[in-house]
A and B are shown apart, each in its own frame.
Chain A
Amino acid sequence: AQRVTQPEKLLSVFKGAPVELKCNYSYSGSPELFWYVQYSRQRLQLLLRHISRESIKGFTADLNKGETSFHLKKPFAQEEDSAMYYCALSQGGSEKLVFGKGTKLTVNP
């Protein structure tokens, strides 16, 4: 069964510090992986996905199939990055997203 694990419920860093939000998955095939973000009082929105290999708002994520991880990183955190972050997995050919339980990131001034 597919599973997404985000080991940290809460993560707190200072502005300007590097940040890494961890995501591990279990899936035997070739997954599609996503990071979704939910800012305060806003709807859930896509931040980035591994197939596009792009950097959004300074965030990047690399799929490591050996470690079955898809950690989200940003070298210099900003206060506006404070939000709830969800890692999600979709198996190829399937439409549903399997979400991790989320990590609440707080960037302190």
Chain B
Amino acid sequence: GAVVSQHPSRVICKSGTSVKIECRSLDFQATTMFWYRQFPKKSLMLMATSNEGSKATYEQGVEKDKFLINHASLTLSTLTVTSAHPEDSSFYICSARRTDTQYFGPGTRLTVL
């Protein structure tokens, strides 16, 4: 149990376009989901906490207008990278909270040309 999926697994886009990434908890309900960003050979950097039915809470330094988060249901959170630029290229990973731990999705590799 405790499976989290992400879609797409990989996306390549042109600079200036917007990209949406979906995170789903497949076998449990998650009122709280998290979005992370990971650079090569680095640990995970928390971007924001996504709460079902309310606004996301962003970490310091993360632009909320750049990274739009919607948690519309107990099993789905979406991250939209708006007007993506090459510096937004990264590995984005979501997680879903279940009791006192988090289960992670497989990640989405975003490449902005």
Bound pair: A and B? no
